[in-house]
């Protein structure tokens, strides 16, 4: 009788514990690289379970370090696991895991910020954007200083359907500082509602799936950690270029405690500010006295759609940056000041 898939599932053979690996290869966490390791395999199993069903999946793990999450992924019966690690000290320990899981673990010594994952997996895994997500998952516990810029880069990739999303709607499960996880998933009106909430939620279904107390890491970070799951949406909630949405959202949230018209005004040169802000809000049918955190994704959709039309009508508008105007005004005031003191 053929073995059932459950019975034939792959399990790693007995190995030294992660703590022993750390000792064996002298993998002291480097504070300047914000390295905090997960040593409890029950916890890494839980993170991996929360990522979804990984049977026969192709998984891209970012920043495997001493390999706790890596082991749990390998035990989830994946087809292949590709890990990208920047710190060469971890490569021999990962090599030991690769020997224990023949043909399953591919190790790259590199930087996730520049690694081209779109060429790494078989092209046959590609799915149409409207189809179910491909059987490719991204999983990682990276330093917070890397995970936040990386998610912004990947959200732009979602919008352009390139990078990891050249395969289709690739799912991601990533850790963040708990407050960042709360911002990513905050609802309209929520205390943590921010630029990140809108940027993530207009492109993805975003779920805060787990909170891990700081004490679960070695060494213990100052903060707790949130695990967030992202599934790109078949239809983005705002159908405009990423950079345009980013500009509108950034301008609104730069004055997060003021009425939204204050930040929106900064989209326009000073001479036309009042008139154009009024026009934008009126055409988008948005109440100027709403605070940034009270704006829903559909409010942002209307604002972006109208702003896009205004940019199409005035080719210089999109390039306008109020900070440049401030600098110019400051310089010309300084010049005036110099002239006056010279005349005196």
- The residues that touch ligand SAM, with contacts defined as CB under 6 A, are 33, 35-38, 63-66, 68-69, 84-87, 90, 111-113, 141-143, 146
Map residue 61 onto helix, strand or coil.
Answer: strand
In the bound complex, which residue of the shown chain has the CB atom lying closest to ligand SAM? 63
Q: Of 69 and 260, which CB lies nearer to ligand SAM in the complex structure?
A: 69
Q: How far is the CB of 45 from ligand SAM (least distance, A)?
A: 13
The DSSP symbol for 54 reads -
Q: How far is the CB of 150 from ligand SAM (least distance, A)?
A: 8
Q: How far is the CB of 76 from ligand SAM (least distance, A)?
A: 15
Phi/psi zone of residue 175: left (φ > 0), alpha (ψ -120 to 50 degrees), beta? beta
Q: Of 35 and 171, which CB lies nearer to ligand SAM in the complex structure?
A: 35
Q: Of 63 and 292, which CB lies nearer to ligand SAM in the complex structure?
A: 63
Dihedral sign, Cα of residue 222, residue 226, residue 227, residue 228: negative
Q: How far apart are CA 41 and CA 68, in angstroms?
A: 6
Question: Is residue 205 within a helix (H) or strand (E), and if so which, with residue range?
Answer: strand 204-212
Burial class (CB in 10 A: 0-12, 13-18, 19+), 67: buried
Half-sphere exposure of 216 (CA within 13 A, CB side): 17
CA distances in angstroms from 192 to 182, 189, 196, listed in the order given: 6, 8, 10
Tokens of 179: 């407050």
The DSSP symbol for 230 reads E
CB atoms near residue 109 (< 10 Å): 13
CB 133 within 8 A of CB 168: yes
Q: How far is the CB of 292 from ligand SAM (least distance, A)?
A: 31
CB atoms near residue 101 (< 10 Å): 20
Q: How far is the CB of 216 from ligand SAM (least distance, A)?
A: 10
Q: Of 106 and 127, which CB lies nearer to ligand SAM in the complex structure?
A: 106
Q: Of 225 and 267, which CB lies nearer to ligand SAM in the complex structure?
A: 225
Q: How far is the CB of 173 from ligand SAM (least distance, A)?
A: 12
Q: How far is the CB of 214 from ligand SAM (least distance, A)?
A: 12
Q: Of 43 and 284, which CB lies nearer to ligand SAM in the complex structure?
A: 43
Half-sphere exposure of 339 (CA within 13 A, CB side): 6
Q: Of 37 and 242, which CB lies nearer to ligand SAM in the complex structure?
A: 37
Q: How far is the CB of 211 from ligand SAM (least distance, A)?
A: 15
Q: Of 87 and 325, which CB lies nearer to ligand SAM in the complex structure?
A: 87
């Amino acid at each position: 009788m053929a073995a059932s898939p459950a019975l034939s599932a792959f399990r790693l053979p007995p190995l030294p514990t992660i703590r022993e690996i750390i000792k064996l290869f002298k993998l002291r966490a480097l504070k300047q690289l914000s390295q905090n390791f997960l040593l409890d395999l029950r916890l890494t199993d839980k993170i991996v379970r929360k990522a979804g069903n990984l049977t026969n999946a192709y998984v891209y793990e970012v920043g495997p370090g001493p390999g706790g999450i890596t082991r749990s992924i390998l035990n989830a019966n994946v087809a292949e696991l590709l890990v990208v690690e920047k710190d060469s000290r971890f490569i021999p320990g990962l090599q030991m895991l690769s020997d224990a899981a023949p043909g399953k673990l591919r190790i790259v010594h590199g930087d996730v910020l520049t690694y081209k994952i779109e060429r790494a997996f078989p092209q046959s895994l590609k799915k149409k954007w409207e189809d179910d997500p491909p059987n490719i998952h991204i999983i990682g516990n990276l330093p917070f200083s890397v995970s936040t810029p990386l998610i912004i880069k990947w959200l732009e990739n979602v919008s352009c359907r390139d990078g990891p999303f050249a395969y289709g709607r690739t799912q991601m499960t990533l850790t963040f500082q708990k407050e960042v996880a709360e911002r990513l998933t905050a609802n309209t009106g929520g205390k943590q509602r921010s630029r990140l909430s809108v940027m993530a939620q207009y492109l993805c279904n975003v779920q805060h799936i787990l909170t891990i107390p700081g004490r679960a890491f070695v060494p213990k970070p100052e903060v707790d950690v949130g695990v967030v799951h992202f599934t790109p949406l078949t239809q983005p909630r705002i159908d405009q270029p990423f950079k345009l949405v980013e500009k509108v959202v950034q301008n609104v949230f730069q004055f997060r405690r003021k009425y939204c018209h204050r930040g929106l005004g900064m989209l326009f040169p000073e001479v036309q500010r009042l008139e154009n802000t009024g026009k934008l809000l009126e055409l988008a049918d948005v109440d100027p006295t709403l605070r940034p955190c009270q704006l829903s994704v559909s409010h942002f959709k209307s604002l972006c759609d109208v702003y896009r039309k205004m940019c199409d009508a005035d080719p210089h508008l999109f390039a306008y940056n109020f900070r440049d105007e401030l600098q110019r005004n400051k310089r010309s005031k300084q010049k005036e000041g110099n002239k006056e003191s010279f005349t005196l």
